[in-house]
Chains A and B, each alone.
Chain A
Amino acid sequence: MFKILMQNMHGKVRLTFFLAPLVMLIEVFCDLQQPTMMADIVDSGLAKGDMQFVIKTAALMLMFALIGICAGGGSGVLGNYASLHMGQSLRTKMLTIALNSRAAGGLPPATLITRITNDVTQMQNLVMMMTRGMVRAPMLMLGGVVMSTLVSPRLAPILFVILPVLLVYTLLVMRRSLPFYTDMQGKTDDMNRVMRENLQGAKTIKAFVLEDHQQAQFSETNNALLNSSVRAAMAAVPLAPVIQFLLNLGVVIALAYGGSLDVGGVILDGQIIAFINYMIQITNAMVMTVNIITAFSRAITSATRVQAVLSEQVGEVRVGSAAGAPQDSSVTFDHVSFGYDQSKPILDDISFAVPSGQWLGIIGTTGSGKSTLINLLTRGFDDYTGTIKIGGVDTQQLDLAAVHHKVTVATQDAMLFSGTVRHNLTFGDKVATDAELAAGAHLADADEFIDPLPKRYDAPVEQGGKNFSGGQRQRLNIARAAVPDPDILVFDDATSAVDQTTNARIQQRLVQHRRGRTTLIISQRVANLLQCDQILVMQEGRLSARGTHEELLASSPFYAQLVETQLGGGRSDASDESRS
């Protein structure tokens, strides 16, 4: 963990990290002087009637108080500087890794996001703690013990008995209550889940008249949560009164014992007062220390999670030797296999060839490896066996940029970025003209809803494209892939959420724009593949059949059945009609 911190703090930042606790020590030192000086005023000033001494000591106390303020605030500034800049550097590193990782597997996006946001914030807090609280609390405690021993050595044994008892007791209570808190968290999650189900499933609940069933379930989880949270809270309830009592007990003993010594002239009033003040200070510091330990253990968990991201394999990107992308736009897969796990390949010995300018369709069940095929073509993963060629050149010989210039993909997941429509459509071609944007939008049938927007291409896109419907997001996604007018265009199940009519229109426009240019269409809908020169049928990572629509109707029972369910009994005459 310390390593992560050091790797993200250099130069000025690292200096402030070490300087902050030192400055903090000055504040602690100043704080610790106050009770002793007060004892001096009482014992030396008042007892001897020395006004001069009282004023001198008071001036000194004032000075210490002011220095304390400056040192405390100063160390805060230094600590903040270190922690915020550490966080800045850590976030940049983590995001760079997240964006460049091309290895298979890896952390899911939701986890990665939490780690880059929340866990980094936790790490920032950790730095603040390390530079401030973790220094301040123990030093106040330690300093308090030292100072009180110095001021009144005869009373110190009281501290040595009460403090360890307090410390052990506090830790015991904490250890006992921790599992209760974990349990409570679990119960809270349960309760939230039932509630969420009720909101999301409102229509289902009404349709099947499940109100009473849900009510019973909620009462059960609500009661479980009630019992669990009472148990957790009760475990910590004795802590405050016990600490308070032991502290008061210490004061009483100090009074009684100190009083008896005082009578003998061994100890002075001021010393008893100072001792009691130190004891209060020490107990406060102790409570603070306990809180910090809890916070610290939480931060450590975050550090482990951050470390996991930092040690993700980014995967070397092999730089190609070929100068640029080939002119030719054929695609060839030659005995390509791929899998995260050797025994369960995701793609198993795939071979096919698409001549330049032809259309290829791919159909198959979910998880049959269709999208992975495209991922390999665009070099999302490099650790496959076999050869993939574009225009006769092994893609491994090409620059990533060259591949991505040659091939664009309308992805399955229509991810939009906040900004403007233009920002999203120019991802593949930063200098696209309005005419080029319009051509892409036309292909995707997105012009229909972009054109009426008041600002057209400069209309805002909210986070996740929330201000567009699911179907519109998919159409923008298609437009993004079409704007660069690529040599090879891939549709990865890109129209799954658009309605039939729009889907049909997109198919028409696709024919209009892409006839005679290499186009790959992955779809679950047979109707979308009717225009393809060749269709691949994939099942469980293998190519189970290939051919034209008519050939497959005869050769692949699986394909024939798909056509039957999707297009209904009358499909052959219907398609004959339209094809003729």
Chain B
Amino acid sequence: MQVMNRGPRHNLHQEKVQVTDWKKTTRRILGYIGFARGKLLIVFGLTIFTTAATIIGNRVNGIVVDQFLKASKLHLLYVICLVLGVMYLLSAVFTYFQNSVTVKVAQKASADIRGDIFSNLQRLPMRYFDTHDNGDVMSRLTNDVDNINTAMMQTFVQLFTGIVSVVGMGAAMLVLSPLLTLIALAASGLTYLFTRAAAKVTQKAFMTQQEALGALNTQIEESVSGKQVVQLFDHEADTMATFNQTNARYTHAAFIAQSVSSFIGPVNNGTNNLAYLAITAAGAISMLTGSSTITVGIIFTFLIYLRNFTGPINNVLNLINTLQLSLASAERVFEVIDEQPEQDLPGAVTVKTTTGHVEFEHIDFAYEPGRQILHDINLVAEPGQTIALVGATGAGKTTIMNLLTNLYPLQTGRVLLDGRDVTTIRRADLRHLITVVQQEPYMFQLSIRENIRLGRASASDDDVVLAAQRAHADGFIRQLKDGYDTVLSENAHNISQGQRQLLSIARAFIAEAPVLVLDEATASIDSNTEADVQRAMTGLMKGKTSFVIAHRLSTIRHADQILVIDAGRVVERGTHESLLKQNGAYAALYNSQFDQQ
């Protein structure tokens, strides 16, 4: 007797899932558990044993009821009971073994899948991260891998045991009594049909419920996070009125949907009871009329078989749904694993040094075909020069710089470092030679020391401190309770935006790259830190070929060349003085800072 049947799960409203190639996907999942092939085969073998033990054990129980309880064969009864006891013990041990093997195999396989996702994901081109929502990728790594895990833990093993049980019990039942089997099958069918019917009836109500719940949550989220605005504009009453409507709508829809489905459990339970009744009554009547070979023992055995039959059959039906869901998950996961990673051109060369001579030659660029972002960009930066890129948001300044480190594939034109096309240089080398300080630098959940050291893994602790000093970050770091060992929270929310920038400048200092790309923050930062950032950036640029996407006029004024970018074109170039004299776009931009009277 197995009491741990999970019972019918009410997977009523599964999303429609599309599995494009289930054979291939299944084969790939199986590939992940291939390492434990031998153990899994043993598990399947044992499953057959435990199922057989249940079938035989129960039949023996029935025979005992029929025969040994009648006659005075007590010693035989005891022997049989002892044999049964041993059999049950063995089957418990086997179940333990089965489950522990499944758990370990499934977890190991999940970890392997996660590993594969990660190692491919982080080598994917920038384009992938631009076009894929973080939440979506995260959900593939977590939910989808969980689904595959469930598929392996439950589906493969339970489906197998389920089928073995159903076939075994079914056969045993059929042998015992075809009439009673028919009744049992009718009961199972009825339960299944009812569940389907209920699902259909409630589907619309459940959809309304989901939709209302979505609206409800949105309203809660908005009004709580927008509390200040709600209060400032005396909007509390209106907000509550709208909310109350949605709240009532949700409650009503949920009540209807859940009331109907709350009958599913009792009906299944009742159908089971009815099946029991029908079997007992049918058995009893045929015994009394003497028309068949049914005995009390057979009825008894049959009832227990029935328990072991309806459970798994419901399970198997549900598992088919789960399996479909898991396969769809697996396909989503394999999509990430199969995505083409960034690859160096064949024959890409190793370059360890550069003078810092950079040239952009007739660059046209589009992130997606048909939407050209850059038009014929030309630019020569001599070693040690500072080049400022100026222009409105979205003009293409950052895009130009992205091409320098070969983050995106170039369509026409060339970017040259010391006269060599950057796409022919190994990416790792190229990026070691060029340091990028982003507008919103990313900090990892590591200590400040480790975050700075990310610039160059070989840097010593002293190097870290020196870099921090040169970046004007040492002062604020030492004021923190744990100094350089302060662990940053996720996204470094425990320090200010300006301080994050100082850390990223320290990181750039330690990298000691000959070429520098600085993306100045548009948003104003803490005025106090701003002076530090300004000084640190000036220090960092010294002796390097520097490209600055500039928003601060003081930075721009000191540049060797200023390029004014508009809609992906260089519209003006020159020095601060020469551009002011031209009295064109640059002059207009410069004056707008002060021209407010």
Contact = CB atoms under 8 A, between A and B. Distances in A.
Contacts of B525: 524
Contacts of B142: 188, 192
Interface in B366-400: 392-393
Interface in A536-556: none
Nearest to A499: B393
Given A41-B280, A280-B3, A499-B392, A88 B111 contact: no
Contacts of B392: 499, 501
Given A76-B259, A92-B244, A206-B407, A269 B69 contact: yes
30 contacts: A27-B266, A61-B281, A65-B277, A70-B266, A73-B263, A76-B266, A88-B250, A98-B223, A99-B240, A109-B224, A113-B225, A198-B122, A202-B122, A203-B129, A206-B407, A222-B115, A241-B93, A244-B92, A248-B57, A248-B84, A380-B232, A405-B234, A499-B551, A501-B589, A511-B597, A527-B593, A531-B597, A561-B531, A562-B527, A577-B594
B568 interface: no
A543 to B, nearest CB: 16
A178 interface: no
A51 B69 CA distance: 24
Chain A contact residues: over half helix, strand or loop, or mixed?
helix
A240 B4 contact: yes
B175 to A, nearest CB: 20
Interface of B: 1-4, 57, 61, 64-65, 68-69, 72, 74, 77-78, 81, 84-85, 88-89, 91-93, 95-96, 99-100, 103-104, 107-108, 110-111, 114-115, 118-119, 121-123, 126, 129, 134, 137-138, 141-142, 216-218, 220-236, 238-240, 243-244, 247-248, 250-251, 254-255, 258-259, 262-263, 265-267, 269-270, 273-274, 276-277, 280-281, 284-285, 287-288, 296, 299-300, 303, 307, 392-393, 405, 407, 427-428, 431-432, 435-436, 438, 441-442, 444-445, 454-455, 457, 490-491, 496, 507, 511, 522-528, 530-531, 534, 551-554, 557, 589, 591-597
Contact of B435 (A207, A237, A283, A497): A207
Contacts of A92: 240, 243-244, 247
Nearest to B78: A256
Contacts of A109: 224-225, 227
Nearest to B115: A222
Contact of A38 (B217, B276, B522, B530): B276
Given A42-B299, A244-B95, 8 more contacts: A34-B276, A66-B270, A214-B122, A251-B1, A252-B84, A255-B64, A530-B594, A578-B594
Interface string A232-266: 01100110111111011101110110111011000
A117 B220 contact: yes
A112 to B, nearest CB: 5
Contacts of B496: 366
A79 B1 CA distance: 33
A206 B284 contact: no
Nearest to A568: B554
B284 A46 contact: yes
Contacts of A73: 262-263, 266-267
A303 B415 CA distance: 61
A72 B270 contact: yes
B512 to A, nearest CB: 12
Interface string A46-80: 10010100110010011011101111110011011
B277 A499 contact: no
B138 A244 contact: no
A249 B85 contact: yes
B103 A233 contact: yes
A252 B88 CA distance: 10
Interface residues of A, number: 166
A149 B451 CA distance: 70
A203 B438 contact: yes
Contacts of B104: 230, 234
Interface stretch (A333-341, A353-361, A410-418, A441-449): A410-418
Nearest to B441: A204
Given A112-B224, A263-B69, A427-B229, A72 B457 contact: no
A69 to B, nearest CB: 4
Interface in A349-381: 363-366, 378, 380
Nearest to A80: B258
Given A202-B129, A501-B592, A237 B100 contact: yes
Given A208-B455, A233-B103, A31 B269 contact: yes
Contact of A195 (B138, B227, B284, B595): B138
Given A54-B288, A401-B234, A404-B233, A417 B431 contact: no
Contacts of B441: 204
Interface string A87-121: 11001100110111010000001001100110000
A238 B92 CA distance: 9
- B contact patch SS: helix
Contact of A58 (B258, B280, B524, B597): B280
Contacts of A230: 103-104, 107-108
A273 interface: yes
Interface in A266-300: 269-270, 272-273, 277, 280, 283-284, 287
A203 B273 contact: no
B111 A54 contact: no
A65 B263 CA distance: 13
Nearest to A225: B111
A507 interface: yes
A578 B78 CA distance: 110
A58 B267 CA distance: 19
Contacts of A480: 229, 233
A95 B243 contact: yes
A409 B128 CA distance: 40
A565 to B, nearest CB: 4
Top-9 shortest CB links A-B:
A76-B262, A72-B266, A568-B554, A201-B442, A73-B263, A245-B92, A69-B270, A524-B524, A504-B592
A87 B592 contact: no
Contacts of A240: 4, 95, 99
Q: Which of A199, A200, A270, A524 has the most CB of B within 10 A?
A: A199
A1 B438 CA distance: 50
Contacts of A234: 100, 103-104
A77 B266 CA distance: 12
A350 B405 CA distance: 51
Contact of B1 (A260, A280, A366, A464): A280
A272 B99 CA distance: 32
A185 interface: no
A310 interface: no
A366 B436 contact: no
Contacts of A428: 233
